[in-house]
Chain A
C-alpha cells in the first residue's frame, strides 16, 4: 500500500491543516456544501506568493524520452558512456555532452537536475506523472502543470489563452489535461499546424457582423443573468467575452511577424518555429506553453538519433535563453526541458538505449530558478542516483516554489483539500533563486 498516494487533510500526511480547519471552524462544516468562495479564501490565506502573476512557463517536452547520457549527464570513458565526449561549460566544474555546446556557453542561466528517480518506465503513465508531478487516484484526476499555471496565473479577462500546447508529432501524443479543474482551464491544443482551432473568423461573416452578433448575444445573456447569480453562468459569459481578444491573439501564432534575424536565431525547423511562437505567447502574457518534440525513443541507434536531435535542442534552448534575456523576460519566464523518463546506461544489441526512470536528468532555466547549478549525482556508470535524489513530487515542488506558488497550497475537491504536490515534499532549496 502506498501511503502517499491518497491525501485527505490528515496529520498522517504532515500537512499544515490550518487552512482547512480554520475555515471549517469559522463557517461550520455544512458551509462546505457551497464551495464557491473557497478559491478566494484559500488564496488570501496563503501569503508569500509574490509577483507570481508575472511568471510564465515554456515547457520543452522531449517525447519518447531523451538520453541523459547524451545531454545533461555524460559519462565519457565509462562502459555505458557511448561515443560522445563531455565539454566544460561556462560554470567551472560542470560538464555536459559535447552535443550541447551552445547550452554549455549559457550554463550560468541554467540548472540541471541529474538525480531524478521517478520509478515509472512506461511511456503513457510516466508522461502523465511528469506532466503533473503526481499520480491520479481512483477519484482524483490531477491537473497538469499547464492547467495549474492557467489557474494560478491566468486572468478571467485575459485577451490571450491561458494554456497552449503544441504537439504536432504523433509519438506519445498526450493531450493537455486540466483534471479536476475542469474545462475552464483546458488547453488550446495545436496538433496539425501552428494555427489554433476556431480562432479565425469564417469568411462568410463580416468583421462588423461578427462583433455585433456577439454584442447581441451578450446583451440578451446579461438580461437573462439578472437575478440568477451563478458561477457556471458567469464562466459562460466570461468565455464569450474572451473570444474577440483571443481572435486578436492569432497573430501571436504567426512567425512571419518576426524579423528574419529572429527567425534565423531559432532556426526554421518546426521545433524552432514553435519555440519562437512560445516566446511570443509568453511575452504577450500566456502563462503556460508546451512545445513537444517527439521521436526520442531510441531503442535502436541511440547515438545517431541523439547526434541528430540534441544539436537542434541545444540550438532552440540557446535561442530561447538569449531571446528571453534580451527582452528582459528570462527572470519571469521559466524554460523546463523535460521528458517522461531518461534512457538506460546499458547499451542494447541494437545500439539503442531503453526506458530508464531510476537515474535521469532534466533542466530548468529562468523564472526564479537558480542558474549555473548541476544538482544531484549519479554513480560512475549512471546506473543509480548517489546524491540528491528527487522524485516527480520534489521536481514539481521546486518548480512551483521558484514560480512563487506555494507547493503546499490546497485546491478543493468538494470538501477535500488537495495540495498541489505530495504532502511532505519540499522543494530543492539550492535551486530556488
Chain B
C-alpha cells in the first residue's frame, strides 16, 4: 500500500479519535446520549417520532428482548399498575439479573457467532458460562480466537475455530464479519471494486494471522511458520504481510532456518499429540494471539468496538446504525456517525461491558417508541422514529407459546419458584423451536410454518391440550364467555382485550356452545398463530 493511501484510509475510518473532542462527554448516561443524537437528527428531518409504547407493550418488548419470552400475566399487571417512577429501571435490572437473561443472550450471541442454523452446542455452552460470569466482549473474543482446550472453564470456545480452520478463506472472512463488521471476501480476488478501503493486501493480510493454524486430530494447532502468497490482479505473485484492517502490519519474529532433522522432530511432535489425543505443543509465537492483541489496541480497536456496538443496537432496535452489519466502511457511513462513535468509545472505555451497553440501549426513549405508524408512509427505519418489528427467534417463539398456554396461576408464588418453572418451560420449548426457521437478513416466513401450525398434531398436543396446569384446563372452569376471552387475550397477547375483540371472540364462542372447549382451543390457536404473537413489536 502506498503511504498516501494509508493516510487516506486512516482518515476515513478513524474519525472517532480525530474528532473525539466534539462528541458528548463520556460520562453522560448511554440512554441520554442515544436519545440526544437520534432526536437531533429527527429535528432536522421531516419525520416526527411516534409516541412511546404503552406499558403493556414495553414490558412485553423488554421481556422478549432480555430474557427471550413473553411476560406472564402477573408480571404485566404488576408493571402496568406500578406507580414507581423507577419501575422501568427496576424491571430491566430484575430481568438482567436472572439466569434467563444469560441463557437468552447466549442464544443470541450463538446465532451471531455460529450462524442462525448452527447445530453445535459447544459454543452456546461456552457462552452461557462466559456471560454468566460477566465476561466482557474482548475476553470472549480472545477465548474464541485463542482457545485453550485444556482449560475446563472455557470449554467449547474452541469449536468456533475448529469448525472453520480447514477453510482459511472462510475463517478470515467470518472473523472479519463477526468481530469487525467488515466483509473482506470481495478483496479475495481483487481490490474491492466499490470500497476503496479494502485491498487484496487486507484480505491476505488478515488471512496470514490464521495461516499457521490447522486441525491436528480434532485439536487446534499452530505452527511457527507459514506464508500466504497471492496473485494480485496486476503484477507478480506477492507474499502477504500480516496486516490488520486498519493497514497496521506486523512482522513476526524471524525464525532461524530449520535443519531437516528439526523439521522432522517438529512434525513428530504434532503426530504424537494426535495419537495421544492431546493438545498439540503451543507455538513459540502465536499469530492468532497477535491478531487479538492488535485488534484491541487503542487505534485499531475502532473496528472491534463499533462492530459490537452496531450489533447490539441492531439486536435491540431491529435495525443497525450501519446496515448491512458487515458493511462498515467509509463508503457506507452510519446513519448516526457520532452516536456510533460515542457508543464504540463507551464500549472501549468500559472494558467492553456487554451488560452496561445493553442496559443503556433498552433504557433509551428511542428503544421504547411505539411500533405503530399513524401517518401515510413511515420514515426509513434508519431514522428510528418508530420501533421496528422483530420476528421472534425460534426459541423466543416456542418459549413464549409455552408461557402463553400455561394456567396463569402457575406463575404465582415465590419468585424463585416462578423462575424455576419458567426455566423448565424454556427447556421444554427447545424441541418445537427446531421446527421454526431462524431469522436471517432479508428473512421471510415460509408456508411450512403456516402448515405446521394449521395441521400438525404437534401444535395440538404441545400447546392446545387441556392438562391441569394449562390455560385450556383453567378455561373449563370459566362459564362466562367474555371472561374466557379476556383471559385468553391477556395470557397470549400480554394486554387487555379491546372491546372489539371481546365482541368478536365472545360471538365466536357463543356460536359454538355445542363444542365450547373446541371453540376455546380454536381461539387460542388463532392468537398463537397470529401476527401479533409472532413478532416483538
Q: Residues of A with Cβ closer than 8 Å to B? A: 1, 3, 6, 8-13, 24, 29-30, 32-35, 137-139, 161, 180, 182-186, 188, 197-202, 204-205, 209-210, 212-214, 216-217, 219-221, 224-233, 235-237, 239-240, 242-243, 246-247, 413-416
B71 to chain A, nearest CB (A): 18
Contact of A232 among B188, B333, B444 (CB under 8 A): B444
Q: Are B190 and A198 in contact (CB under 8 A)?
A: no
Could you say which residues of chain B place their CB within 8 Å of the CB of A246? Answer: 447, 451
Q: Are B183 and A139 in contact (CB under 8 A)?
A: yes
Mask of B213-237 contacts with A, CB within 8 angstroms, 1/0: 0000000000000000011010000
Q: Are A198 and B532 in contact (CB under 8 A)?
A: no
Interface residues of B in 138-183 (CB under 8 A from A): 167, 169-170, 172-174, 177, 183
Q: Which residue of A lies closest to B190 (CB)?
A: A12
Could you say which residues of chain B place their CB within 8 Å of the CB of A217? Answer: 525-526, 529-530
Q: Does B121 contact A (CB under 8 A)?
A: no
Q: How far is the CA of A9 from the CA of B373 in the complex (A)?
A: 37
Could you say which residues of chain B place their CB within 8 Å of the CB of A414? Answer: 323-324, 326-327, 441
Could you say which residues of chain B place their CB within 8 Å of the CB of A29? Answer: 331-332
Q: Does B79 contact A (CB under 8 A)?
A: no
Could you say which residues of chain B place their CB within 8 Å of the CB of A24? Answer: 194
Interface residues of B in 334-356 (CB under 8 A from A): 335
Could you say which residues of chain A place their CB within 8 Å of the CB of B527? Answer: 220
Number of chain B interface residues as a range: 35 or more
Mask of B377-388 contacts with A, CB within 8 angstroms, 1/0: 010111000001
Could you say which residues of chain A place their CB within 8 Å of the CB of B47? Answer: none
Could you say which residues of chain A place their CB within 8 Å of the CB of B186? Answer: 6, 8-10, 416
Q: Are B169 and A138 in contact (CB under 8 A)?
A: yes
Interface residues of B in 452-511 (CB under 8 A from A): 452, 454-457, 460, 501, 504-505, 508
Q: Which residue of B lies closest to A8 (CB)?
A: B186
Q: Are A224 and B531 in contact (CB under 8 A)?
A: yes
- The 4 A-B pairs with the shortest beta carbon distances in the complex, nearest first, are A414-B324, A138-B170, A184-B444, A8-B186
With known contacts A30-B332, A415-B327, A139–B189 Cβ distance under 8 A: no
Q: Are A237 and B531 in contact (CB under 8 A)?
A: yes
Q: Does B522 contact A (CB under 8 A)?
A: yes
With known contacts A138-B170, A217-B530, A243–B518 Cβ distance under 8 A: no
Given contacts A8-B193, A10-B192, A232-B445, 15 further A-B contacts (CB under 8 A): A3-B189, A8-B185, A8-B192, A30-B382, A33-B324, A33-B335, A138-B185, A198-B454, A205-B518, A209-B512, A217-B525, A232-B389, A236-B450, A243-B447, A243-B450
Interface residues of B in 285-333 (CB under 8 A from A): 323-324, 326-327, 331-333
A351 to chain B, nearest CB (A): 36
A358 to chain B, nearest CB (A): 24
Most A Cβ at <10 Å: residue of B189, B333, B441, B527 = B189
Q: How far is the CA of A414 from the CA of B519 in the complex (A)?
A: 45
B54 to chain A, nearest CB (A): 14
Q: Does B91 contact A (CB under 8 A)?
A: no
With known contacts A6-B188, A139-B183, A229–B444 Cβ distance under 8 A: no
Q: How far is the CA of A242 from the CA of B450 in the complex (A)?
A: 8
Could you say which residues of chain B place their CB within 8 Å of the CB of A224? Answer: 530-532, 537
Most B Cβ at <10 Å: residue of A210, A229, A414 = A414
Q: Does B425 contact A (CB under 8 A)?
A: no
Q: Are A239 and B188 in contact (CB under 8 A)?
A: no
Q: Are B448 and A183 in contact (CB under 8 A)?
A: yes
Q: Are B526 and A6 in contact (CB under 8 A)?
A: no
With known contacts A6-B188, A202-B455, A213–B526 Cβ distance under 8 A: yes
With known contacts A10-B193, A183-B444, A416-B186, A221–B532 Cβ distance under 8 A: yes
Q: Does B440 contact A (CB under 8 A)?
A: yes
Could you say which residues of chain A place their CB within 8 Å of the CB of B233? Answer: 12
A184 to chain B, nearest CB (A): 4
Q: Are B170 and A233 in contact (CB under 8 A)?
A: no
Q: Are A182 and B530 in contact (CB under 8 A)?
A: no
Q: How far is the CA of A13 from the CA of B185 in the complex (A)?
A: 14
B292 to chain A, nearest CB (A): 20
Q: Are A229 and B378 in contact (CB under 8 A)?
A: yes
Could you say which residues of chain B place their CB within 8 Å of the CB of A184? Answer: 444-446
Most A Cβ at <10 Å: residue of B172, B373, B526 = B526
With known contacts A34-B380, A213-B523, A224-B531, A231–B189 Cβ distance under 8 A: no
Q: Are A6 and B189 in contact (CB under 8 A)?
A: yes
Contact of A186 among B380, B448, B519 (CB under 8 A): B448
